[in-house]
Structure 1
């Protein structure tokens, strides 16, 4: 069995980007014959010097993603002095960006990892909103960043999803006179729950349209004004008992309501 070729990967962050590129290339040369060794979170010259000495003794290649200028310059200088092949994966594209955008980069390490964390937080929030939509699981009330309550057709679900896309875990609970409100709602700390209300006329029009799309009669109890007033009155009593802020969603875009929620709860 032939000895593995060693590639040192250096980064002032985790080093995932460099590792992916090295593996993509290594697979073209029988990946199992290449060993990748990491030096992550490079923050001082001593970190680089240690790897330089190892790479020199093992006749290895250095591949790096370092955005801090003085560290990158030091690595390049030492690699040349020791006759080590060093490949800067970011510099060529960075230079193109500088020319195109006509401004300098921030030279801040770890930004990719920060973006990844935001992405996964967003995914978790969306999965949370789906799981705890429409009171499917009452346990979501205590786990949520935001709990939305209101009668049917007050935009609870689309608002939950929009807020989830912004990274907030949202549970929503419909308020129905015949169904007791979950006790968990009254145990929530202040600043976690928002009540959604709407004018009776707007709700009547929305519900009639909903029935029409479902192929049902528009004069069903669901869309009758007496029923609507009863539901709104019940919801108002629950919201007062909880003591939560209330937003009137009549004729408001989801984005506008979402901004109000975030502002009111100071998130």
Structure 2
């Protein structure tokens, strides 16, 4: 383990750093998500990520092994080609680096339960199948219906998001689109009525997004600062913002639309809550 122990460093304020090598024969998204989810549980420790996607040949693996040799650390990998995985493991053992095939335990579990061996297909989850094209269609729809655009066909959406400015409508919509949901988002602007097309929605799930006035003001101030704009405006006045949010809550209550407070939620957490609401909504729609 000596080689890997040398790979860790202590930086400013006593924070520890270590090298984390993520080796994949596909895009590396799975590895990155797993690694970051776990690393986030350790306070005072940060990973220096080295990401190697699309490693599918010995030549490509040679570069990876050289970099691990230069900066030893923890190695996580998703390589379905046995020869490549074996070479990587041998190098890690030589350097004393902890290493783990992230998908191996899941493969073993499924193989034991199903009673059939898997077929080695790098990037199989990214095949150009119906699900893939559904996500692309959802993304196109979502981009075309951002910020209140094209309200005439709102009921073609799976989800419609409403909220005052800076409630993370657009990034949440993009995330949902990547999960295959056609998502429109509509800003609630002081002095302007929501589009009349909302009255005729039958199929789409409408969700209201809110946040605390303090959080909205903070985000808006940062936005104005980035634009070098004057901040002497009701846009960042706490009382005015609080009234905006109160009006939006009353609108959501009148329409009986579900509300999600995004003050302390990440985009992923907000989207997860909406996906759960959409599953329930879709089931009711099918039943009726």
TM-score class, shorter: 0.5 to 0.7
**Is contact 1:156–1:172 with CA below 8 Å preserved after alignment?**
yes
User: Of the candidates 139, 144, 163, which is equivalent to residue 126 of structure 1?
Assistant: 139
Change (3 A) 1:237 1:116: same
Q: Which structure: larger Rg?
A: 1
> Does structure 2 retain, via aligned residues, the 8 Å contact 1:185–1:242?
no
Match of 1:177? 190
The match for 1:188 is 201
Shift of 1:220: 2.0
Task: Tell me how large the CA RMSD over aligned residues is.
Answer: 2.8
Residues 191-242 of structure 1: per-residue CA shift (max 9 Å, x gap):
6110000011111111111111110122322111122122112211221222
Aligned to 2:160: 147
Gaps of 5+ in 2: 1-79, 86-103, 112-116, 283-288
Q: How does 1:1-267 map to 2 (within 5 A)?
A: 104-105=117-118, 115-189=128-202, 192-266=205-279
* Separation in 2, partners of 1:133, 1:234: 22
Pairs aligned (count): 170
- Rounded to whole Å, the distance in 2 between the matches of 1:183 and 1:128 is 20
Q: How does the TM-score come out when normalised to structure 2?
A: 0.53
1:198–1:190 distance in 2 versus 1, CA, 3 Å: farther
| In 2: Cα distance, 1:113 partner to 1:139 partner | 33
Alpha-carbon separation, structure 2, partners of 1:191 and 1:125 = 13
Which digits, 9 at most, give the CA deviation of each residue in 1:136-193, with x for residues without a partner? Answer: 1102411100000000100000000000011110000111131111122133237611
TM-score (norm 1): 0.57
Alpha-carbon distance between aligned partners in 2 of 1:192 and 1:171, rounded to the nearest angstrom = 10
CA contact (8 A) 1:190 1:244 kept: no
CA distance in structure 1 between the aligned counterparts of 2:263 and 2:125, rounded to whole angstroms? 40
Q: Does structure 2 conserve the Cα–Cα contact (< 8 Å) formed by 1:207 and 1:222?
A: yes
Q: Find runs of 4+ consecutive structure 1 residues off by over 3 angstroms.
A: 95-103, 111-115
> Secondary structure in 2 aligned to 1:152?
coil
